[in-house]
Structure 1
């Protein structure tokens, strides 16, 4: 009752009707949910605007399309003025039949939808009535409720002195929980509006009291504990189970003791060659056990690695080298010969160490570092020290180098072990591309667990059939895939993988169809959807896909949720006004964690733009990474992926800035 009176008072002061006030608030609600500023809502009008029609029996109701512009972030008072003008203009032309408007505009028709609006806002009273007739007994006949004519029909009549809100909705599009939440948000929004109508519309919050229980609190303290450097954790595994198999590739096996000893020898050699802490070493690599050895040796030396994929064009690899400015070069045997262009560029670098790493233990016995100590150098490593450089697409035509820290590499490993019940008995397949952040998870996670890392040979990766055979023969139990690779594997006719018990997806949008097909291939597996970015270093969001999930929605192309933040990570959806988004409200995704990358190599300005101080705490060490992704909170607090902000796409798990594509195309002689 109190809110109704306050709405009446606001309407009187603003010179508008209560319908206009409610419509303006509902337009704002729709705008916040859709991310659109041009909102068209339908309404009805009695059509009896002449006295001579008062006593005439008949149907005179006409539909009005009320189009409101919410651009420019006006105050609610100014929005009311816009809505008043829209309504008065519509009332002036109310005699024009709606059918005639549609005929004149001639929009592209879809007979499953209304041609001009899908939401109807009505002032009518739809509460149940009791009919009484003198001398008659009245019996109400029940009937099946008709299907919704619109996606949403909102009723806001005043009954017994108070405004009552009701919604009729299309059950194929919305759940009851979603609509109940929408009504709660409408009521919450109205309460804020009557209290401060002069506010800019982006300053009103859609976070309701019930939503606070499931949404992240952006002021909650997060644990910044460091587990220690990864190579230190590996040494503990070598002490605990020295003869356990650590790495298996088609040619040989490495125990934890051998891996620990040889990586220490490599580290001692690198330091003796002039490598200093924080120096960058480029690794020209392919999938092999020698890659694991190289990573460990470089980390033990206190240096920083960057992996170069031989399948990339030389010009791309040179861009990486120009940004990273390495002091060392490791060429893994079997990665292929360097192009002349790449050799020429390397000749001009100031390298203190250039090494060919043998592809095998036997060859390592003849390596330059065989006589070096196998004792740990004891180089002091802190959580904030750089561990590696990873690259992602840049909008200017140049890739962006991300400087990644030691802390995030190990912080989440105990959580990963506990949450997904993985351990020393598991066999993990190394099938990720060399440029993926997944590659690090493929390597670091199993070696932390004391599990065995299996590396497929080049022939095993040549076709889905060979990869599937390799997975069966090796008895792989844990696998990290991109959705694109998962789809490729489904082309194999005989594809049952009985040993596979955990499949982690990351790198692109995962659909219900994808998960259903993988479930057929790996009937004993749990399926997890991971979310992360190069700048977050690891997967920072996760969603456990239910065993039984419908594939009916959108023909099986319904996106699997990104989920919620893992331990000490929050997935924050923020509005244009910088507020936490409510349930269903469109927001930009920010990752909050003490365990983010340092920033971009040689680009402090971009680092400050993308890694921002948490506006809710304003503490310098409390950072958010701005992902550029758009999403919504579901009623259970999980994040639903919606799209990408700006000009960026993902192709088979690779993040590509369209500006970079344009920059490259513009260099072609035929480009205008």
Structure 2
């Protein structure tokens, strides 16, 4: 058999296979349109077909799903050659121990900056040590959890380091999350103590454990020694932190992350992106999101400086652009949503800054826009369960705009293996979609207190060779490219990413179904306007009396009390019944796009005066709604924090006003 190229005009079909018998043999020719297929791809397909036919002829009793498409050399390439990532790193050290060694080398160097506050390595170490000694006296030790509910500040870095130095694992509790969610995470993680601040004290109630206010006038630990605590039994296999991610059962689950994987990732990223004593990293991500671990500790383990930006400045494109100009960071990491926010606000760029983009797929147009404004750009990918990032891809200046719809997620980081497997757990050929599995030193211990879910997602590694090695089933669809890089293709389930946050749609559906007026509920992430992904809830009423706009408003209010803002749907579409496929499953593709009535509505009243009319026009344009009442509520109309930032930017441009 052979592959024959044809122009689109000459080829009758996009792809055609002609077989004929000649001299007692079957010969064939595969004709393809060159505008659609590369010769190398078609030649691989011919080899796969030939191999399958050979295997079928050799053993006609073998089940179809056990036939292997991949020849031995390609199997070796996808399993071994493209996973040769072995590299030395301090595998016997914990995160804080490497930091302590750095303190010895550069005690007077600036470690952390927050607004007007500056802490040197020696000052940061001493403050963290005093608190760590006190935590030890409260019973904190290896694998014990300490909850941290603190605003972004220098004090936050002190708290995280202190927990690790005491031997414990920190559990981040974002103060912006609803009280019920914080209560659940506190109960589920069973911390030995809680660290917070005075103004957040009412967010932490009925814990049954000591609650320490970091900004207390006379902290109990002020007289504790400033020396590094010695904990002989602590190893890098013990936990560094437990971060809660959205759970499909309706409750978040805690991902238990040991020190060793973090140390490996930070050393790998130093080699990839660079991190020296002269570097400064601008930290903009909530510490409840695991990528913040890189922002805080990559600089601190290498003598560089971490610049903590307050939450409100990180969410405002003008303030963020000004911070980049004023602080002149050499490294910054953010989600695509944040980079697009900057680009949309006509950010002039920072040619000396190296940029990381991760948390969700990176569109090629955004990659090109960011790459042209910075000194270097890397697309990074990885689930929390394999420690922050698992693959990286440098975005090159000339190629960013010519790639497909998305930038590839690249190659595995150090001491990490990635496999694209079929339903039988066998590697798929280059260019074929399969589920992405990740192995190596970044694979975490599992889900805190959830052995069944851990066993379901963390499986034995049949390819690694190490006894006890495991793979994490990501649930992501991916495929190998011929050059050994990888493309992300989407999800195999109903998990989505919205503005960088990982969301299990099942969790929102479960909380909706709790409401007395709801019989059934489905939630989708829709992108009806390019670049604007919104959550939409579809629900059927429990009774005829449960229908109507007032119930939709009640559903939004209900979810706002139990879920973070980024998980609350923008629109609520009531349906008599949910559409079904012929085999009786819910037909998500048949669910309608939300109309104006799906958003919470109040009695319409026209805007009064020039200012209100200008604001209404801005809202209408940003929210993509026809008209805006003077009594309209921004978030009820489908707004969210990033759209609010866009409104503020437009108000500055149109009205010349600053919005506090």
TM-score w.r.t. length of structure 2:
0.74
Task: Work out whether 1:633 is the aligned partner of 2:480.
Answer: yes
Q: Is the 8 Å Cα contact of residues 504 and 527 (structure 1) preserved in structure 2?
A: yes
Task: Work out whether 1:468 is the aligned partner of 2:330.
Answer: no
Task: Work out whether 1:173 is the aligned partner of 2:36.
Answer: yes
> SS of the residue aligned with 1:174?
coil
Q: Deviations over 1:627-653 (max 9, x none)?
A: 111111111222211121122211112
CA distance in 1, matches of 2:320, 2:12: 51
CA distance in 2, matches of 1:485, 1:579: 38
Aligned position for 1:514 = 366
Correspondence for 1:322 among 187, 202, 205? 187
1:225-240 alignment, distance < 5 Å: 226-240=91-105
> SS of the residue aligned with 2:518?
coil
Aligned position for 2:621 = none
> SS of the residue aligned with 2:344?
coil
1:446-465 alignment, distance < 5 Å: 446-465=299-318
Root-mean-square deviation over aligned CA pairs: 2.6
Give how far 1:475 is off.
0.3
Aligned position for 2:278 = 425
Aligned position for 1:266 = 131
> SS of the residue aligned with 1:498?
strand
Give how far 1:474 is off.
0.4
Aligned position for 1:137 = none
Higher-Rg structure is 1
Aligned position for 2:448 = 601
Give how far 1:221 is off.
10
Q: Deviations over 1:460-491 (max 9, x none)?
A: 22411110110111001111111111111111
Give how far 1:155 is off.
2.8
CA distance in 2, matches of 1:482, 1:471: 16
Correspondence for 1:356 among 213, 228, 246? 213
Aligned position for 1:526 = 376
Q: Is the 8 Å Cα contact of residues 391 and 534 (structure 1) preserved in structure 2?
A: no
Q: 1:379 to 1:559 in 2, by over 3 A?
A: same
Correspondence for 2:80 among 197, 202, 217? 217
CA distance in 2, matches of 1:165, 1:443: 59
Q: Is the 8 Å Cα contact of residues 610 and 626 (structure 1) preserved in structure 2?
A: yes
Of stretches 207-216 and 506-515 in structure 1, the one that deviates more from structure 2 is 207-216
Q: 1:573 to 1:494 in 2, by over 3 A?
A: closer
CA distance in 1, matches of 2:262, 2:294: 9
1:436-455 alignment, distance < 5 Å: 436-455=289-308
Greater length-normalized contact order (CA 8 Å, ≥ 6 residues apart) = 1
Aligned position for 2:424 = 577
Task: Work out whether 1:415 is the aligned partner of 2:268.
Answer: yes
Q: Is the 8 Å Cα contact of residues 165 and 183 (structure 1) preserved in structure 2?
A: no
Give how far 1:421 is off.
2.9
> SS of the residue aligned with 1:412?
helix
CA distance in 2, matches of 1:462, 1:632: 34
Aligned position for 2:149 = 284
> SS of the residue aligned with 2:281?
strand
Q: 1:227 to 1:423 in 2, by over 3 A?
A: farther
Aligned position for 1:302 = 167
Q: 1:423 to 1:151 in 2, by over 3 A?
A: farther
> SS of the residue aligned with 1:295?
helix
Give how far 1:205 is off.
1.8
CA distance in 1, matches of 2:504, 2:200: 30
CA distance in 2, matches of 1:161, 1:478: 66
Aligned position for 1:568 = 415
Aligned position for 2:63 = 200
Give how far 1:237 is off.
0.9
Q: 1:165 to 1:249 in 2, by over 3 A?
A: farther
Of stretches 188-197 and 471-480 in structure 1, the one that deviates more from structure 2 is 188-197
Aligned position for 1:58 = none
CA distance in 1, matches of 2:295, 2:448: 25
Of stretches 598-607 and 187-196 in structure 1, the one that deviates more from structure 2 is 187-196
Q: Is the 8 Å Cα contact of residues 147 and 173 (structure 2) preserved in structure 1?
A: yes
Aligned position for 1:390 = 243
Aligned position for 1:136 = none
Give how far 1:458 is off.
4.1
1:17-28 alignment, distance < 5 Å: none
> SS of the residue aligned with 1:527?
strand
1:68-147 alignment, distance < 5 Å: 146-147=9-10
Q: Is the 8 Å Cα contact of residues 529 and 542 (structure 1) preserved in structure 2?
A: yes
CA distance in 2, matches of 1:275, 1:446: 26
Q: Deviations over 1:388-420 (max 9, x none)?
A: 111111111111111111111112333322233
Q: 1:145 to 1:429 in 2, by over 3 A?
A: closer
CA distance in 2, matches of 1:559, 1:640: 8
CA distance in 2, matches of 1:173, 1:649: 30
CA distance in 1, matches of 2:348, 2:92: 39
> SS of the residue aligned with 1:193?
helix
Give how far 1:303 is off.
1.1
Give how far 1:243 is off.
0.8
CA distance in 2, matches of 1:545, 1:494: 19
Of stretches 617-626 and 607-616 in structure 1, the one that deviates more from structure 2 is 617-626
CA distance in 2, matches of 1:407, 1:529: 23
> SS of the residue aligned with 1:446?
helix
Q: 1:273 to 1:553 in 2, by over 3 A?
A: closer
Q: Is the 8 Å Cα contact of residues 282 and 328 (structure 1) preserved in structure 2?
A: yes
Q: Is the 8 Å Cα contact of residues 284 and 311 (structure 2) preserved in structure 1?
A: no
Q: Is the 8 Å Cα contact of residues 85 and 417 (structure 2) preserved in structure 1?
A: no
Q: 1:638 to 1:164 in 2, by over 3 A?
A: farther
Aligned position for 2:394 = 544
Q: Is the 8 Å Cα contact of residues 222 and 594 (structure 1) preserved in structure 2?
A: no
CA distance in 2, matches of 1:494, 1:146: 45
Give how far 1:550 is off.
5.5
CA distance in 2, matches of 1:442, 1:577: 38
Q: 1:485 to 1:220 in 2, by over 3 A?
A: closer
Q: Is the 8 Å Cα contact of residues 284 and 307 (structure 1) preserved in structure 2?
A: yes
